[in-house]
Amino acid sequence: MISVIIPTYNRTKLLMERAIPSLLAQTTPGWEWECLVVGDGTEQETVTEMESLISWDKRFRFWNLPHYDYPEGQAAWGLYGLTALNFGLDNAYGTWISVLNDDDEYSPDNFEVLLAETRRTGADFVYGMSDTWKDGRSTGQLYGKFPPGDGSVTQGSYLYRRTLSYRYRHDCYDRGRNGDADMWIRMREDGVRFAFIPQVVHHYHRNYP
């Protein structure tokens, strides 16, 4: 089973009309998934929509944590959602972990492509590429390259084994890295087996200039 973790904060429309539909559209035959949506003190609209969703689709679970006290300004950017992500990791049941931002979307064959690569390579962490969208249009910019690190892996483009048991760390800036890049680099330094496939499996919607 794949455990999908979606941290969310005040993006109800994008969560319900972009991120979650892209999960429901996956083409993977024969694979089960669960989805853990974890609010970071998100708005009541998100709570209401998620309560409605889980009332008829038991693959979804939802929590709304107290909003984390982030630093002010740009210093918070690489820390957003880390507490919600760690909570999701602590409550996941699947063999594989995938993380999707609440304003992004999977390609329909995301799971199919990445699972095939795990079988082919035996790697513990498999990732592909993301294309970038801005204001509803593709920018032509691509993310995804080897080795894994800052700017080379995006949330939504990977699967990794839950048994790796890594956590996001709020002291990542002490090492000069954002929270997600810090995790990938620590994994690589510890000898985790990575595999990269040069195929777009995720659509990254950029919401900054």
pLDDT value, residue 102? 96
Characterize the bridge pairing of strands 125-134 and 158-161.
antiparallel
pLDDT tops 70 at residue 121: yes
pLDDT band at residue 151 using 50, 70 and 90 as cut-offs:
confident
Four-way CATH pick for 2-205: 3.40.50.2000, 1.10.20.140, 3.10.560.10, 3.90.550.10: 3.90.550.10
Residue ranges of domains in the chain = 2-205
C-alpha span between 44 and 42 (Å, rounded): 7
- Cα three-residue angle 168-186-31, rounded to 5 degrees: 65
> For residue range 54-81, what is the model confidence (pLDDT) as tens digits?
999 999 999 999 998 888 765 677 788 9
pLDDT band at 48 (very low <50, low <70, confident <90, very high): very high
Q: For 153-167, give one letter per residue: b (16+ CB within 10 A) or e.
A: bbbbbbbbbbeeebe
- The model carries a pTM of 0.95
DSSP secondary structure letter of residue 122: -
Q: Which long-range contacts (CB under 8 A, 24 or more apart) does 116-123 make?
A: 117/195, 117/197, 118/159, 118/195, 120/195, 121/193, 121/195, 122/193, 123/193, 123/194, 123/195
- Cα 26 to Cα 182: distance, rounded to the nearest angstrom: 29
- Give the CB-side neighbour count of residue 71, counting CA atoms within 13 A: 10
Two structure tokens written together for 198: 């040069």
- Please, which pLDDT band fits residue 209 given cuts at 50, 70 and 90? very low
CB-count exposure of residue 72 (10 Å: 0-12, 13-18, 19+): exposed
d(CA 195, CA 1): 20
